[in-house]
């Protein structure tokens, strides 16, 4: 799921929303990843260490991240097909986003970041509106 969050982080960076907005997005992202992981039997502590938070921060911050790149391009209102067609490697978060929503529904886990990424990639939602809706939603245990 980190790759889905990296797409959202790329959108935030592409929109130049700043470090505080991106940090808030990453916190919501790790909370989302943890909720789904726990629902399928993972230990919640796994997500707080290097393999969880550490990997997420790297993937969401690196300009070399394919998924982050997709998010930046989406923020610049490029078409997904054009973005993917110009890439030599796969951005796993694109296909994973829909599958993650299905898994979340199966386990009754809300995945608001993932839902917004799906809306951005496949439903034509505008990047600023999507990030705004996500960041102004009612706070939960994040």
Q: Which residues are catalytic?
A: 2
| Residue 104: how many other CB atoms lie within 10 Å | 20
Q: In Å, how far from its chain's centre is CA 111?
A: 10
Q: How many residues does the structure list for the chain?
A: 142
What is the dihedral angle through the alpha carbons of 44, 117, 100, 88, rounded to the nearest 10 degrees? -110
Q: In Å, how far from its chain's centre is CA 2?
A: 7
**Residue 35: partners with Cβ closer than 8 Å, 6 or more residues away:** 109, 110, 111
**What is the end-to-end Cα distance of the chain in Å, rounded?**
16
């Amino acid at each position: 799921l980190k790759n889905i969050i990296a797409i959202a982080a790329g959108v935030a960076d592409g929109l130049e929303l700043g470090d505080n907005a991106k940090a808030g997005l990453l916190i919501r992202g790790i909370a989302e990843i943890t909720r789904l992981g726990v629902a399928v039997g993972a230990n919640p502590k796994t997500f707080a260490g290097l393999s969880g938070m550490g990997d997420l921060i790297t993937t969401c911050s690196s300009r070399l991240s394919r998924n982050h790149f997709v998010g930046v391009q989406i923020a610049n209102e490029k078409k997904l097909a054009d973005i993917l067609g110009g890439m030599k490697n796969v951005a796993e978060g694109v296909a994973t986003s829909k599958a993650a929503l299905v898994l979340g529904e199966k386990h009754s886990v809300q995945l608001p970041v993932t839902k917004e990424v799906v809306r951005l990639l496949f439903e034509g939602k505008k990047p600023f509106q999507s990030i705004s809706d996500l960041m102004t939603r009612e706070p939960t245990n994040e």
